[in-house]
Amino acid sequence: MAQTIYKPVSYSRIVFTELMFPNNANFENKIHGGVLIALMDKVALACATKHAGSYCVTASVDQVDFFRPVEVGDLVRLYASVNYVGNASMVVGLRGEAENIKTGSVKHITTSYFTMVAKDERGRPKQVPGLILETTTDIRRFMEAMIRKDFKLQSKVRYEQKVAELNIFESLEQLKRERCEIGFDID
């Protein structure tokens, strides 16, 4: 009988650090958001691949908000761990911090969730090991991921319904409350 493999959260936990150089910055010496997202994606990939034991792809990213800017010279630290596993999918939670290495002050820059899917040699989704939750934080993160998954599905269904019902001519009144104007003769 095939046995389900389980791996602890700690097995695939990753802490990644990188010093931010001027080649990744804008004209105001702040690091581009895209540079940080690319780093986060790589770290999520490493974390998910460790848990899955096979290569993974990024299926979706749940909301990346940057709370504070990252400056040139900051040491960026990304903490990643598998928060949730489905069948072939895993949710990797990422927390990003930036440290000013002259003063030692640390700021929280982002928290986001990457859904990664494990693939087999033929490129098909592949079942990943179950997750051993080692702390109450692991339990909370797993449950939060279940709630996000549920909310995402519900809001997708509601959004698709709204879009299917949308009639732009009947909804024109709504635009009057927005900061736009129609720049052509619509009649």
Ligand X SMILES: CC(C)(COP(=O)(O)OP(=O)(O)OC[C@H]1O[C@@H](n2cnc3c(N)ncnc32)[C@H](O)[C@@H]1OP(=O)(O)O)[C@@H](O)C(=O)NCCC(=O)NCCS
By beta-carbon proximity to ligand X, the closer residue of 70 and 131 is 131
Kindly state whether residue 125 participates in binding ligand X, applying the rule CB under 6 A.
yes
Question: What does 34-102 look like in DSSP terms, one character per residue?
Answer: HHHHHHHHHHHHHHHHHHHTS-EEEEEEE----SS--BTTEEEEEEEEEEEE-SSEEEEEEEEEEEETT
Q: Interface mask (CB under 6 A) for ligand X, residues 34-73, using x and -?
A: -----------------------xxxx-------------
Q: Is 157 in the site for ligand X (CB under 6 A)?
A: no
Give least dist CB 86 to ligand X, A: 2
What are the C-alpha distances in Å from 176 to residues 112, 180, 181, 186? 35, 8, 8, 15
The smaller minimum CB distance to ligand X, of residues 20 and 91, is found at 91
Q: Is residue 155 close enough to count as binding ligand X by CB under 6 A? A: no
Least Cα distance to 76 among 16, 118, 117 occurs for 16
- Which three-class secondary structure state does DSSP give residue 130? strand
Nearer to ligand X, 92 or 117 (CB): 117
State which residue has the least CB distance to ligand X: 86
Which residues of the shown chain bind ligand X in the complex (CB under 6 A)?
57-60, 86-89, 115, 117, 125
